Structure 1
Amino acid sequence: MRATHLRRTAAALLTAALCFLPACAADPAPDRSAASPATSPGPAAGTVHRVELRGAVNVRDLGGYRTRDGRHVRYGRVFRADGLGKLTSADGKKLTGLGLRTVVDLRVPAETARDGADRLPRGLKLISRPVPDRRLNDTTNEALGSKDPDTQRRLLGGGRAERLMRATYRSFVTDAQSRRQFAATVRDLADGRGTPLLFHCTAGKDRTGWLSYVLLRAVGVPDATATGDYLLSNDLRAAADRRTRAGLEKSGRMRDADLLTPLLAVREDYLRAAVDQARRDYGGLDGYLTEGLDLDSRTLARLRSRLVD
């Protein structure tokens, strides 16, 4: 049985990449209310409402942030998360308590096949909108599959992992399929279709992090605050990421699992790579919204009306 478990673990690790790294089960969490203030210092202490689940670690309400004109993003309208394939029955009840109607899954089919489909309460509508990254996926698979420290350093060391991440974030702006998937979710929120809505990928930090940043900026949240929300994933995922690195070293896949740290973390320069790409391609984030995502002024006005008090 132990050999079977190790083979399954190795197979999961071989498909690692951007938010494609295996989602570790969360540490058992106390049975609190569905949404409670995050204990980690965040962009606005006491504002971030974390949804504490046993089967996911990076689940939170995007509400509470102050906009430039002194208003606030409404709680209970839009949520962000990591993978939902390991949710318990108690987790499902908490999600039901949030009043969710729709879950948008940004994972590609290979991730769903590896980690399992979302385990959701009955009645929730699930929409698959995969946002891919083949280059990062292929490179990480090659590194882990080799089991060779020299190969892994050649592929991921010396700043190469960081460059892969920046390229991935730039693809959120340049890749047409990615733009379509992000835009469709923004439109759903603007139209009120299926809200309250939750979107997620595997780790809830890159694809989910970029979409969260774009949404917050689109409704008037300042850059520093939206960036703080993005960086909060480092705090919420810290324990799970430590387990991932320890598991890789214990399984013999990596001698130096710290080489993966740039792929597991979120960093402001990753986010800036996407923002800078939006500036080059569309003149800025406003142009990315209107030209890149093809969102007209009425859609953006409806989005602000629905999400901001």
Structure 2
Amino acid sequence: MADAAALLKLAETDVSQEITKEQYIPVLTNPPFVFLDGTFNTRDVGLVPGSPVRSSFFFRSGALARLTDNGKAVLEGKLGVKRIFDLRSPEERASAPDPVLEGIENTWIESTRPDSTPEPGRFVAGEGEEGYREMYLEVIDVYQESWKAILEHIRDRPSDPFLVHCTAGRDRTGVLSGLLLALAGASQETIIFDYLLSRIGTEPVRSMLLEFAVAGSHAKSKEQPGFHNLVNLRASSWNAFVDGVQKEYGGFEKFVMDKLGFSKDDLAKIKANLTSP
């Protein structure tokens, strides 16, 4: 595993700057990252430095549509994943469907409503913190049924490793990962570290994702005010979101109990299953 301080420094690289192959390949082929041929940004959240989550239980990644046979074999065999949760929209799934994998259950639950367009104008002020706060608060609300299914899996199936993904494995997946890390008792520094690691994890497809962001945000160009903030990952953006969760719901635990309907006993079991073999 790479030195945590060095990893963090690399993860703070502005998205407008290239991370060279010489820099990212040694990182992406070692823990907490997992090389899964045909996708990107894959990691074992339990191996993120400082993570209280047990290893080999909760994995996260980008889209799986282009998994090679080798990638499928690693997912089914070495990682032992038993269930995949897909957080994408119907349109994303239709254009790049997940592969059928032997012995792995695929779960997709349509969100309560479509995500709103992350227009660059919402991200102009500061480093885009208010835009991220609004965007991630929408994510935590829109995908409630998916959060419930994932938490029920953790509560009821602690022997079944699972993987969560969206398209980039960055924002929707990042919100879910931050939620689970918080429930497991991770420090804010560890949660932000995991969040920022997606900057390195997405580097192999950076150009493609930037074009995807231009189209998805209806930006006129990459130079449009606010776009640069929208596509960068920053600790300040995550902190703004956490502050929003605190003000809106009273924190992640209150959100899980009051909005998702889990009891204190459920929450205790989820915490135990996240952290203990």
User: Could you tell me which of 193, 216, 221 is aligned with 1:228?
Assistant: 193
Q: Which amino acid aligns with 1:195?
A: D
Q: Which amino acid aligns with 1:108?
A: S
Gapped runs of 5+ residues in structure 2?
Answer: 1-20
> SS where residue 202 of structure 2 aligns?
helix
- Residues 236 and 276 (structure 1 numbering): CA distance in 2 closer, same or farther, change over 3 Å? same
2:43 match? 60
**C-alpha distance after superposition, 1:260-283 (max 9, x if no partner):** 443433222332333122211222
2:4 match? none
Q: Which amino acid aligns with 1:89?
A: D
2-structure distance, mates of 1:246, 1:101: 33
Q: CA RMSD, aligned part only?
A: 3.3
Query: Contact 1:189–1:303 at 8 Å: present in 2 too?
Result: yes
1:270 match? 237
How far did residue 65 of structure 1 move?
5.1
Query: Contact 2:89–2:114 at 8 Å: present in 1 too?
Result: no
Q: Which amino acid aligns with 1:136?
A: T
Aligned length: 245
User: Could you tell me which of 132, 135, 138 is aligned with 1:168?
Assistant: 135
How far did residue 193 of structure 1 move?
6.6
- Residues 262 and 83 (structure 1 numbering): CA distance in 2 closer, same or farther, change over 3 Å? farther
Structure of larger gyration radius: 1
2:7 match? none
TM-score, structure 1 length as denominator? 0.68
Q: Which amino acid aligns with 1:289?
A: V
Gapped runs of 5+ residues in structure 1?
Answer: 1-27, 29-36, 41-45, 141-154
**C-alpha distance after superposition, 1:99-155 (max 9, x if no partner):** 1111010101011112x1112422211010244653216x58xxxxxxxxxxxxxx5
2-structure distance, mates of 1:254, 1:207: 20
How far did residue 165 of structure 1 move?
3.6
Q: Which amino acid aligns with 1:54?
A: D
2:116 match? 135
Indicate whether 1:200 and 2:149 are aligned: no
Equivalent residue runs for 1:1-309 within 5 Å: 39=27, 48-64=31-47, 72-97=52-77, 98-114=79-95, 116-131=96-111, 133-136=114-117, 139=119, 158-159=124-125, 162=128, 163-173=130-140, 175=141, 177-192=142-157, 195-245=160-210, 256-259=221-224, 260-309=227-276
Q: Which moved more, 1:186-195 or 1:79-88?
A: 186-195
1-structure distance, mates of 2:45, 2:170: 13
Q: Which amino acid aligns with 1:121?
A: L
Query: Contact 2:115–2:139 at 8 Å: present in 1 too?
Result: no
Percent identity of paired positions between Structure 1 and Structure 2: 27
How far did residue 301 of structure 1 move?
1.4
Q: Which amino acid aligns with 1:118?
A: D
1-structure distance, mates of 2:148, 2:184: 15
